[in-house]
Amino acid sequence: MYQFKEGDRVSHLNSNIKGLIIKVLDKGFYIVKDIETDMDLDLHGRELVLHEDIKIKSAPIKDLKKSNLISQSKVEKIIKSFDLHFNRIPKSFSNKYPNKLEAQLAYAKFIIEQNSNNFKKIILIHGKGDGILKQALEKELRKNSKIKEFYDPEMILALKDSKIQIEFK
């Protein structure tokens, strides 16, 4: 198996994920900054392929280290938000599913799975609409054992209903 190093450009074997290795972990795992979603993903080396032709728009690896994002503990990390509006989700999700709702839910599940170990809390922005996405999200969140609680942070402040904040165990 190939040993990747920080700064290597890689792609995922079973998906459209392309990114930059920003940290080498133990047991063959790496933190990869996805170039489309800008998320830090925890992936195993056997799932990755070296791709020198991938164009990276994010900050150089030395700048990422200076910002201290990599070395912070889960508890110290700030809340990260993700937009679930259909026109904002990656094409790897919007093109893969037969309808908008399925694509949005798949992306939300992906975000939760990839971020439950990296952040204490995340916010999913679902928008105001007719509530179908919000209801479907809440149904999925109730089933997820990694989630401690979820709520609408704006509802507490009596503002408009467009977000769900998730706190992980």
Are 47 and 12 a contacting pair, CB within 8 Å?
Answer: yes
Residue 24 within any structural domain of the chain? yes
Q: Are residues 95 and 49 part of one domain?
A: no
Most confident range (mean pLDDT) of 15-19, 49-53, 76-80, 134-138 is: 134-138
Residue 74 within any structural domain of the chain? no
pLDDT reported for residue 15: 76
Question: What is the domain range of residue 38?
Answer: 9-66
Q: Are residues 88 and 160 part of one domain?
A: yes
CATH of the domain at 19: 2.30.30.140
Q: Are residues 86 and 31 part of one domain?
A: no
Residue 2 within any structural domain of the chain? no
Q: Are residues 124 and 90 part of one domain?
A: yes
For residue 63, CA distances in Å to 59, 70, 115, 152 come to 6, 11, 21, 34
pLDDT at 27 > cutoff 80: yes
For residue 141, CA distances in Å to 42, 58, 60, 64, 122 come to 21, 30, 35, 31, 13
The mean per-residue pLDDT over the stretch 54-81 comes to: 48
pLDDT at 49 > cutoff 70: yes
Q: Are residues 147 and 86 part of one domain?
A: yes
Query: Domain boundary residue among 40, 66, 92?
Result: 66
SS3 track for 112-125 = HHHHCCCCCEEEEE
Q: Looking at beta carbons, which pairs linking 52-57 to residues 24 or more positions away fall under 8 Å?
A: 52/9, 53/9, 54/9, 54/10, 54/11, 54/18, 54/19, 54/20, 56/9, 56/19, 56/20
Q: Are residues 123 and 47 part of one domain?
A: no
pLDDT reported for residue 34: 82
The mean per-residue pLDDT over the stretch 91-109 comes to: 91
Are 10 and 32 a contacting pair, CB within 8 Å?
Answer: yes
Mean pLDDT of the chain: 78
* pTM of the predicted model over 0.95: no
The mean per-residue pLDDT over the stretch 8-29 comes to: 85
Residue 102 within any structural domain of the chain? yes
pLDDT at 29 > cutoff 70: yes
